Chain A
Amino acid sequence: MNSKESCRSELRIAIRQLSDRCLYTASKWAAEQLMGIEQDPANFTPSNTRFQWGSSSIRRRFRTNEITSTPIAGVSYVSTPVMEEDDAVDGDFYLLAKSYFDCQEYRRAAHVLRDQTGKKSVFLRSYALYLAGEKRKEEEVIELEGPLGKSDSVNCELVSLERELSTLRKNGSIDPFGLYLYGLVLKEKGSENVARTVLVESVNSYPWNWNAWSELQSLCTTIDTLNSLNLNNHWMKDFFLASAYQEIRMHSESLAKYEYLQGTFGYSNYIQAQIAKAQYSLREFQQVETIFEELLRNDPYRVEDMDMYSNVLYANECSSALSYLAHRVFMTDKYRPESCCIIGNYYSLKGQHEKSVMYFRRALKLNKNYLSAWTLMGHEYIEMKNTPAAVDAYRQAIDINQCDYRAWYGLGQAYEMMGMPFYALHYFRKSVFLQPNDSRLWISMAHCYETDQLHMLEEAIKCYRRAANCNDREAIALHQLAKLQYELGRPEEAAFYYKKDLERMEAEEREGPNMVEALLYLATYCKSQKRFEEAEVYCTRLLDFTGPEKETAKSLLQGMRTTQSGFPLMDVEHFSP
C-alpha cells in the first residue's frame, strides 16, 4: 500500500486543483478521502496543516518538489506527477469567472473567459458552457413537454464543445480536466467507445478526479469492457474497481477491494457506506445496520446512501428507527430524492401505501432515473393491488437498468397475481438469470410452476432444488421438495428431503408444523420400509407434540409392536432425544 503520507499530500493538492476548476463533487469526494486517512498524530496538528495549505506560496513551493513526494514504495503504483498549473496570467478574469460560476451564472462566467487561452480558463469556460447547456436542456424538457410526452431537447452546447475539445486534443494542448469534459460530451452524444478512451486518458494523467472515474464506471457495464481498460496502477484505480465491481454485481470482489482500501483510508465514510452497500447486496442486514449506525454517529447530516439504510430498517421492521431516520433527513434536506424515498419506506412500513406512493413519486420527480424508487413504488402498487400501475413502474425501472433483478421479479409477481403464471414465468426467468444465488427468486418461480393452472411439478422441483442449494433462509424449499416428491409418488426422494429438512430444523432449533409433518412422514415411511427401529425413533419424537399426530404416532407404535413383539417399550424411550 502506498504510504499514507503520500496519499494525503496528493489528495491535498488535488482538492485545491479540483475546486479551482469548480469540480465540486470530485473535490468533496477527495476531501472526504483525505479525512478518511488515519491521522498520524506525530506529524502535525490537523488545523495547522489545513491552514498552511491555504496559502498559495506554500502550494507553489510544494509543486516544485512534488516528484520526490510520490513514494517509491515496494508496491508497483505508478507515480503520477501532479500537473503543472498555469501561471496566473489570466488570473483576474479567472477570478471573476469563478465567482460567477460559483453563483451559478454559467453563461456569464463563460463570457468573461471568452478570450482567455490558459488551460484552466479554457476548461472553466467549456465546463460553464456545458453546465449552462444542461440547465437550458432541463428547462426545455419542461417547456416543450407536449402531447408526445417528451421533447427532443438536447444540450445545444455539445456540438461546439465537442468541436473545440477535439481540436484541442488533436493539438495536444488539452489537460486531463479538458479530457474529462470531452469524455462527458462524447458520452452524452452516445459515442461510448471514444468516450471511454478519452476518459481513460484523463484518469491516467490525473487520477484524483473522481468525477472522471465515475463517468468511466457508468460506461463499463460488463466485465469485459472493464477488463479491456488500460489503466495505470494508481491507488485511485482500486476505488474505481471496487465501485465498478459493485455495479456489475460482483459483490464479494468489490467487498474485498474496499476492505483492502480500508487499510489506508480507515476512517473514510465513503468506503464504509460502500461496504454497507456490498453487504446489503449480499443480504447481510445485521452488518449493514451496524455500519450505518456508526456512519450516522460520525456524520449525522449525511443523506447519501441513507435510502439503503432505510431499506434495511424496513426489512428488519424497525419502524421507530426508520421514523427517526426519516425525521432526520427531512430536517436536513427534504428535497433530496433519498429523503423522499426514506419517507416513502416509512409510510410503506406503516401500511399507508397511498402516502408512500406519493413520496416515491416526489423522489422520481426530483430524479427521473432513480432506480430503486421505481422499484419500490412498484412494490407499493402491488400492495395496493393496482397491478397495472405496478407493472408500469417496474417496467420503467427495467428500462433504466436492464439488470435490476428486483424489478423483473416484481413484474413476475404482478403477473402471477393476475393469474397469468405462464406469462409471469418469463419475468422470473429473467430475474433468476441476473441473480442466480437468491433463493427467494427460485422459490417464487417454483411457486409459479406449482400453480394449479400450470402444474408443471418437475420444473418446480428443479427450481426448489436450486433454491435449496443457495442458502434458503426461510427453509421453504426443502419442505416443498419433500412434499412435491411425495405427490409425484417418489417416497424415497420425499423421505430424503424430509430428513434433510428435519436435520436443518434441528440445527436451527426450530419446531412447528413442518417438523411434525416431517416426523410423521418419516415414521410411516420407515414403517412401510420395515425399518422399524428408525420408525420408532420418529414416533417417539412425535409423542412430544400435541395434536392428532400424537395419537397417530401412538397407534403406529402399537401397530409396530404387535407385528414385532420382541421390542420392549424401554428401548423406544431410550432412543428419544
Chain B
Amino acid sequence: MAGIVKPPGEFSITPHKVSVCILLQIYAPSVQISLPFPFASVAQHNRLGLFLLALTKSCDDILEPKLDELIGQLREVFGVLNPRFIDHLTTRLSALSSPDDLFNFFSEMRGILGGPESGALEDEQVILDPASNLGMFLRRCILAFNLLAFEGVCHLLTNIGVYCKEALSSCASYETTCFEDSSSNLEAFPEYENMDLENFVFKKVTEEIEARKRASERVSFHLHAPKALFNLVEDIEAPADPKSKHGDKVGEASSYVHPPDYALREFEPNSGIFLRTNWQIQGYLQEQADALEKNGSSFSLNAFELILRQLHKLAPELHRVHFLRYLNSLCHDDYFAALENLLRYFDYSAGTEGIDFVPPASGSNSFGRYEIALLFLGMMHFQFGHPKQALEVLTEAVRVSQQLSNDTCLAYTLAAICNLLSEIGVSSTAGILGSSFSPLTSIGISLSVQQQLFVLLRGSLKRAESLKLKRLVASNHLAMAKFDLTHVQRPLVSFGPKASMKLRTCPTNVCKELRLSSHLISEFSFESSTMTTDGAFSTAWLKNLQKPLGSAILSQENGSGSNENAFQFCVQPSSIPGPVLQLIGSSYLLRATAWELYGSAPLARINALVYATCFTDASSSSDAALAYVKLIQHLAVFRGYKEAFAALKIAEEKFLSVSKSRILILKLQLLHERALHRGHLKLAQQVCDELGVLASSVTGVDMELKTEASLRHARTLLAANQYSEAAAVAHSLFCMCYKFNLQVENATVLLLLAEVHKRSGNAVLGLPYALASLSFCQSFNLDLLKASATLTLAELWLSLGSNHAKRALSLIQGALPMILGHGGLELRARAYIAEAKCYLSDPSFSVSENSEVVLDPLSQASVELQVLEYHELAAETFYLMAIVFHKLGQLEEREEAANSFKKHMMALENPLDDEDPLFNVL
C-alpha cells in the first residue's frame, strides 16, 4: 500500500546468529556444564570475547558471513593454536537436527545469562551481564526464537542445514569429520530413544538441503547468465571500492571485520536464502546509490540491473529498488528505462520513502507527495537535455507543491529551476514560467530571463533559509555566486529617477556567497550524529574500522600529504555526511572557476588542487574530473604541452571510462591548441569538428561546448588566413552569445574579432572590437582577459603606423604586471614581442644604445614559445632577434637566430614531419 512504510528491520534469528550463540556459550559456559571449555590462556579467552563483541556489533550488517567465512575469521584471529573451537562449533551446529534440538539449545542459552539473583559465584566463572552488549545480543536471540512459530523453527532448521552444508562442501576435509561427528552425536545422546525417527528427520533435512540448493541454483538458471553475472559483479567491485585495499593494509585492526566486498556477494545466485531485514537492504541500497552518484558509469548497467531485479523479486514492497534502477539507467543514458522506473517508483511509493525531506508539519498527509515525483522527473529531463520538458514539469511541480503547501519541495524545485535556467540557454521564458511565484510579474512587468533567474534565486534562498534546509541554503549560495560571477546586476524595476548603478559584476558578492555556502560545514559538525540515515549506520561501524586514519585516502593523491592537518575533517569520515562534503567541494571548484575568470592563475590552481586532494573521495567522479581538467589546463598554459599530456594520461587512467566526456573534451582542446600552434591546420580542423559533434543538437543545451567549438573553429580559420570566413563564424557566435546572454563569452568573441581584423590588416576596423571587448572585461572584472585585450589594442595601434608606437608601448606597459603575473606562456610571449616591436618601430629609439631593452624580452619570448612549440610566433621572435643582432653587428648571434628562424619556418611549412602519436588515440 502506498504511504505505508514498513517498520525498519526486525531482529530475526539466522544460522549465523546461532553460531554466534554457540561461541558465546564457549566464552561463557553456563553453571550447569561442569567442564568449561579449556582455553590455552587468559589472553585467548579475552580475544574470543573481543571477537564476539565485534560479531555482535556487526550482526545488523547487510550481510552475514557464511560458516566457512566465520571459520576462516576464527582461524585468523586465533592462529593455529586452538582449532577446537571450530570443531565444537561445527559439531554443535550439525547436531541441531530436529526442532526439539533448537528448543533445547535456546533454553540452554538462557542458562548462561547471569540473573540478578545469581550472587554466589565461583571465582573463575564468567557471567554474562544481561545488560551488556553480549548479554543483550543473547537476549534478543532468545526472544526472537521464542517468537517464532513452528513453521519459523522449521525454516531455521532448514537454513542451518544449508549453512552447514555449504561450509562443508566448500572444504572437503571437513566433510568426513563432521558427518562422523553428527552420527557420533546421535549415539552420544541416549535420550533419543527413537533413532529411526531421528534418522528420518536428519535424512529429511539433508533432502531439503538438496532441494534448497537446487532451488537456489534455479535462480541462476533463470537469469541465464550466472557466469556473466559473476564477472560483472567482480567488475563492479574493483573500481567501486578502492578503499578496501587500504583496509587490507590496516591488517590486524580490521581483521575482525568482514571485508567490504561482501556487499555484493549476497546477491550471488547461490546464496541469499536467508532473509535480510528491511533495514539491511535499505542500507545496501543507500550505499549503492551513493556509489552510483559518485562514479556512475563505472557501474555496469546490466549487472547491477540484474542484482536489482533479483532484489525486487525478493522484496517487492521495497520500492527503493525501483529508484536505484532509475539511477542506474540514468547513469547509462537509457532514457526510456529511466522514465519507466522513475514513474514506477513514485507510483508505488507516493514519494514517501527514501528522500530525506523534512516531513510536513501538518500531520495529515494522506495524499502522498507526488510533487516530489514531478521534481525528480524535471531533473531527469534536465539531465537528458530536454530543457523544455524539464521546465514544463518543474513549473507543474511548483504549482502542485504550492497547492499542497509543501514548502520544502517548493524550495527544492525553485533551486532546480534556477539551476536549469542558469545551465541552459533559454532565450525567452514567455509563457513557460507561471506568474505564480514571481512577485514582479503580477505588476505586469516582463522580465528578462536573467532578471527572472535572479528573482527566483533570491526567492529560493529565502525559502530555504526560513525552512532551515541547510544543504539547500548552501547550494543556493553557490548558485547565487555563480550568478554573480557572470551577470551584471541591473535594477529590476526601472521607473523613477534612475539610481546610479555601476554596471559591473561584484567580486565581493561572489566571495561572500561562496563563504556563506561553506558555513555549512561548521553547522554539520555540531549535529553530525543526527544525520545518519537509516540503514547507513549499520555499516558505518565497519567503515570506520576500515579507515582508521584518513591519511590512507589523502596520501594517494599526488604527494600533497602535507595538507592533511589543514583539512582535519576528512579524517573523520563519518562525522560529516557525504553530500555536505560534496557541496563544500563544489564551492572550491566554483572558487577555482571564479579565479580563473578573474584572472588569478595561482589562486585558481590552488583551489583546484584543494579540491583534488581533499574532496575527490566524497565527490562524484565527474566533479573530480573537472578539477583535474582545470589543473591540466593550467599545466598546458603555463608549462607547455608535454607536461599537460603526461598529466592527461594519468587523469585518463584515473577516470577510466568514468565521465569520459569531460576528459575527452580536454584532450580535444589540448590537441587543437597544439595543432594550431604547430600549424597542423588540417588536424586542428578535424579536432575542432570532433569537439562540435560532442555537443547535443538541442538548442540551448550544452551551450558551453557549442561556444567553445565554434570559437575554436573561428580560430582555426584565422590561422588558415581565411579572414572573412573567420569573421563570419565569430560574428554568428557573437549573435548566439548575445541571444543566450553569455556575456563573458562575448568578451572573448569580441577580442577574437579584433584579432581577425588585426591579422587581415584592417586595424581600424579592429579597434572598436578591441575597445568593446575591453569594456566587457571591465564590467565583468575579467582582469586577465582585459590585459590580453589591451595587448591586442596595442598591437592594433602599432600596426597603424610607427607614430602610434608610444601609445602602444604605454598600453602594453600598463598591462604587463597582470600579464607577467598571471598570464600563460603564449600571452607573455606575445606581450614581450609586442613590447620589442614597439621599441623597434619607435623612430626615436636606437638599438645600439639600449639593446637589452629589446633583446631581453625577445629571448624570454623565444624560450617560452619553444616550450609551446608555437612555430609561427617563434619564427617571428627569431626574425626580430636576428634583425637586432644584425643592427648590433653581432654576426654570430645573428646567424644563430636566423638558423632558428629557418628551423621554425620549416616546421611550420611541413607540419606533417613528425607523426603525432596522440592523434592515433582519437
Contact = CB atoms under 8 A, between A and B. Distances in A.
Contacts of B374: 420, 422-423
Given A418-B367, A419-B403, A391 B277 contact: no
Given A156-B215, A420-B374, A422-B396, A150 B222 contact: no
Given A158-B218, A159-B217, A423-B377, A151 B343 contact: no
B344 interface: yes
Contact of B155 (A144, A148, A419): A144
Interface string A145-175: 0111111101111111000000000000000
A460 to B, nearest CB: 15
B8 to A, nearest CB: 8
A189 interface: yes
Contact of A152 (B9, B313, B347): B313
Contacts of B276: 148
Contacts of A392: 1-2, 347-348, 350
B893 interface: no
Contacts of A422: 374, 392-393, 396
Interface string B365-393: 01110110110010000000000000011
A86 interface: no
Nearest to A456: B392
B268 to A, nearest CB: 13
B282 to A, nearest CB: 10
Contacts of B339: 426
B316 A149 contact: yes
B130 interface: no
Nearest to A146: B275
B73 interface: no
A191 B276 CA distance: 28
A160 B313 contact: no
A52 to B, nearest CB: 47
Given A149-B316, A391-B2, A418 B370 contact: yes
A159 B215 contact: yes
A145 to B, nearest CB: 10
Contacts of B350: 388, 391-392
B112 to A, nearest CB: 28
B512 interface: no
A415 B403 CA distance: 14
Contact of B2 (A190, A388, A419): A388
A549 B712 CA distance: 69
A387 B368 contact: yes
B10 A147 contact: yes
B317 interface: yes
Most chain B Cβ neighbours within 10 Å, of A151, A154, A388: A388
Contacts of B775: none
A258 to B, nearest CB: 35
A418 B217 CA distance: 46
Most chain B Cβ neighbours within 10 Å, of A146, A387, A394, A418: A146
Interface in A417-435: 418-423, 426-427
B151 A426 contact: no
A511 to B, nearest CB: 40
Given A392-B347, A422-B392, A423-B393, A156 B368 contact: no
B272 A152 contact: yes
A179 to B, nearest CB: 20
A419 B281 CA distance: 34
B278 interface: yes
B278 A147 contact: yes
A199 to B, nearest CB: 18
A197 interface: no
A158 B434 CA distance: 59
B192 interface: no
A387 B392 CA distance: 23
Nearest to B345: A395
Contacts of B649: none
A104 interface: no
A190 B152 contact: no
A487 interface: no
B370 A147 contact: no
B854 to A, nearest CB: 69
Most chain B Cβ neighbours within 10 Å, of A148, A420, A453: A148
B151 A143 contact: yes
A386 interface: yes
Nearest to A157: B211
B215 A154 contact: yes
A394 B343 CA distance: 12
B273 interface: yes
Contacts of B348: 392, 395
Contact of A190 (B221, B343, B377, B403): B221
Contact of A150 (B221, B317, B347): B317
A388 B368 contact: yes
Nearest to B403: A419
Nearest to A159: B214
B318 A149 contact: yes
Nearest to A455: B431
A191 B219 CA distance: 11
B396 A389 contact: no
Most chain B Cβ neighbours within 10 Å, of A155, A395, A421, A427: A395
Contacts of B221: 189-191
Contacts of A477: none
B272 A391 contact: no
Nearest to B207: A156
Contacts of A143: 149, 151-152, 155
Contacts of B277: 147-148
A149 B316 CA distance: 6
A156 B273 CA distance: 13
A411 interface: yes
Contact of B347 (A146, A386, A411): A411
Contacts of B151: 143
Contacts of A394: 347
Contact of B12 (A146, A389, A427, A454): A146
A386 to B, nearest CB: 7
A386 B366 contact: yes
A154 B218 contact: yes
Contact of B315 (A148, A415, A426, A454): A148
B496 to A, nearest CB: 35
A419 B396 CA distance: 8
Contacts of B502: none
B215 A420 contact: no
A469 to B, nearest CB: 28
Nearest to A386: B366
A394 B346 CA distance: 12
Given A147-B10, A148-B275, A150-B316, 6 more contacts: A146-B275, A148-B277, A387-B367, A421-B396, A423-B370, A453-B396
29 contacts: A143-B149, A147-B6, A147-B275, A148-B275, A148-B277, A148-B281, A148-B315, A149-B316, A150-B316, A158-B214, A160-B214, A189-B222, A190-B221, A190-B222, A191-B221, A191-B224, A386-B366, A391-B2, A391-B350, A392-B1, A392-B348, A399-B344, A419-B399, A419-B400, A420-B400, A421-B396, A422-B374, A423-B377, A453-B396
Interface of B: 1-3, 6-7, 9-10, 12, 149, 151-152, 155, 208, 211-212, 214-215, 217-219, 221-222, 224, 272-273, 275-278, 281, 313-318, 339, 343-344, 347-348, 350, 366-368, 370-371, 373-374, 377, 392-393, 396, 399-400, 403, 434
